Structure 1
Amino acid sequence: MESAIPSHLQTARSRHRRVPDDYAPPYPSFVARHKSAVVSVVMAYFGVQYRGEPTAAVAEALAQIGQRFAMESGPAHWDRAQYVDQAGFTNVVSVAYWDDAARFDAWFGGAREAWTGSNAAGGEVGRFIEVLRPHVERYETLFSSLGRPEGVAVLADSMSGEVREHAYWGGMRDRIPLSQTDAMTPVGEPRVVRDGARIRVVAHDNLCLIRSGQDWSDTAAEERKMYLDDVEPVLREGMDFLRDDGGPIGCYANRYMRVVDADGRPTEKSYGQSWWKSLAALERWAESHPTHVRIFGAAMKYLSTLGPNAKLRLYHEVTVAAADEQFFEYLNCHERTGMLNAGEVATNGAD
């Protein structure tokens, strides 16, 4: 049994894990392992926002960012997903990953100007950029099975063996290396900075991001029906709650997205992606809010029914980013898009 924290990031703890050293999880889970030379990663979300049917301008924007990703110093991996937000706009989000900050910096200047710069300002679609570039001690991953990495884990050198820190409340925090010595408490409030037509959001220290995914592409007919009829509707209910009413509990924004293929067709993969005031706020929702209690209950019934024969694949990545590891910029987007919504949440108060 391995620790989720790689050996080169382990240190003497001043903050203890939520479980004793002899804890044995009831089922296996795994984490991504980067080479020790990797000191930070980049997670960059490039969004297109529109209402109604997609136009030629939408297609052009999606082609444009795909071409940018293929350029020298582009990402080592990217994927694309879409969802309809609380204002009725479709958002198509292309998420790109780097494990070399210098390569990203060499690429990002031109990409940013092309995406949200003056030439794009008069366009008929909204565009946004949301970037985290955390040090490796500030994020964690978790997978229910081996063989098909997602998100930032595609960049990893390998996957771990079975890890100890999972299947209990608090495991998410215990897998983040910084948690050994730091409470990762948020400091400050989000503020908005206007730059012509562009709007930037300056968040705060220890902002939290989670991407939590589901892949049912390997399931056979009976298991697929069970997931789509019994689990997915409960998951969607919880995701919609965070999207529409998450502010008071500390969720700045939530997207429940369907992954699409190269031609824009929905796949049998989805993920929730949300911005939180703190890891603690995310933990409170996960541990005690009725919407997540129902999600957890539906998932446990599903998994206990199928046992090791379950083919559903689950994963997540959770980041707690320092203030200088964040970048948020929006152009022609409605006021509740992504971290633009954080200003309203901060004004009205968040737990």
Structure 2
Amino acid sequence: MESAIPAHLRTERTRHRRVGDDYAPPYPSFVARHKPSVTRVVMAYFGIQSRGALNAAAELALARLTSAFTAADGPTHWDRASYVDEAAFTNIVTVAYWDHRQKFDRWFAAARESWTGDQRTNDGFGTFIEALYPSVEGYETLFSSLGRPEGVAVLADGMSGEVLEHAYWGGMRDRIPLSQTSEMAPSGAARAIRDGGRIRIIPHDNVCLIRSGQDWADTEATERKMYLGEVEPVLREGMDFLRDQGRSIGCYANRYMTVLGPNGARAEKSYGMSWWKSLSELERWAESHPTHIRIFGAAMKYLSTLGPAAKLRLYHEVTVARADEQLFEYVDCHPQTGMLNAVQVVDG
């Protein structure tokens, strides 16, 4: 049994784990392992927002973004997903990952101008960028099975063996290397400034991002019926609560998205992606809110019924980022979009 925290990131603890060394998790889980030379990653979400179907100009912008990813210093991995938000706008979100901040910075200068800057063409759609550049001490991953990495884990050198820190409340925090010495509490307040047509969010310290995914492509008839009929509706209810009422419990924004394949068709994958004021508030929702208790109960019933035969794949990545590790920009987006929920917009 391995620790989720790799050996080169372990340090003397001043804050203790929620479980002891004799804890035995009830089922296996795994984490991504980067090479020790990787010290920082980039997670950049590029969004297009449209009332109804995307027009030709929006489709062209997506195609140009896809082409830009193939340029020098482009991302190592990217994927695309769609959802309809609380204001009934269609959103297409492309998330790209780098494990070298300098490469991202070189690539991003031109991409930013065409997406949310002066070179953007305003033609009936909104755009946004939400990006984090955490150190490897500031995030964690978790996978229910091996063989198909998702998200930031695609950048990793490989996967761990079975890890200790999972399947208990607090495991998410215990897998983040910073948790060994830091509470990772938020400080300061987010604010917004208007820069021409662009709204920039100046964030507070230790905003938390979670991407939590489900892949049912390998499931067969009985398991698929169980997941789509008994688990997914409960998951959707919880995702809708966070979308519509999450701000009351510290969730700035939540998107429950369907992954799109290379040809734009809907894949048999989804993920929830949400911005939180703090890791603590995410933990409180997970541990005690009725919507997540129902999600947890449905998932445990599902997994206990199927046992090792379950082919559903689950994963997540959770990041806590300093203020100087965050970037948020919005152009022509409605005021409930992403981190706009966290602020009052003023002229600047």
TM-score by length of 2: 0.98
Correspondence for 2:151: 151
Structure 1 gaps, min length 5: 346-351
Counterparts of 1:130 and 1:64, CA distance in 2: 18
- Corresponding letter in the other structure for 1:248: S
- Following TM superposition, by how much is the alpha carbon of 1:52 offset from its aligned partner in structure 2, in angstroms? 1.2
- Corresponding letter in the other structure for 2:192: V
- Following TM superposition, by how much is the alpha carbon of 1:344 offset from its aligned partner in structure 2, in angstroms? 5.8
Describe how 1:75-154 pairs up with structure 2 within 5 A: 75-120=75-120, 122-154=122-154
Counterparts of 2:119 and 2:160, CA distance in 1: 45
Correspondence for 2:272: 272
Matching of residue 208 in structure 1 with residue 208 in structure 2: yes
Q: Is the 8 A contact 1:121 1:331 kept in 2?
A: no
Describe how 1:335-350 pairs up with structure 2 within 5 A: 335-343=335-343
Counterparts of 2:250 and 2:85, CA distance in 1: 18
Counterparts of 1:344 and 1:206, CA distance in 2: 19
TM-score by length of 1: 0.97
Q: Is the 8 A contact 2:239 2:254 kept in 1?
A: yes
Q: Is the 8 A contact 1:197 1:332 kept in 2?
A: yes
Number of aligned positions between the proteins: 345
For the residue of structure 2 that corresponds to 1:246, the secondary structure is helix
- Corresponding letter in the other structure for 2:271: Y
Structure 1 consecutive aligned stretches of length 4 or more whose deviation exceeds 3 Å: none
Correspondence for 2:181: 181
**Residue deviations 1:122-143 (CA, integer Å, cap 9, x gap):** 3211000000000000000000
Structure 2 gaps, min length 5: none
Counterparts of 1:53 and 1:259, CA distance in 2: 17
Correspondence for 1:309: 309
Correspondence for 1:192: 192
- Following TM superposition, by how much is the alpha carbon of 1:120 offset from its aligned partner in structure 2, in angstroms? 1.7
Correspondence for 1:332: 332
Correspondence for 1:72: 72
Counterparts of 1:93 and 1:330, CA distance in 2: 13
- Following TM superposition, by how much is the alpha carbon of 1:121 offset from its aligned partner in structure 2, in angstroms? 5.1
Counterparts of 1:122 and 1:215, CA distance in 2: 35
Q: Is the 8 A contact 1:121 1:197 kept in 2?
A: no
- Following TM superposition, by how much is the alpha carbon of 1:119 offset from its aligned partner in structure 2, in angstroms? 2.8
- Corresponding letter in the other structure for 1:93: V
- Corresponding letter in the other structure for 2:159: M
% identical equivalent positions:
72
Correspondence for 2:226: 226
Counterparts of 1:344 and 1:305, CA distance in 2: 48
Counterparts of 1:212 and 1:122, CA distance in 2: 32
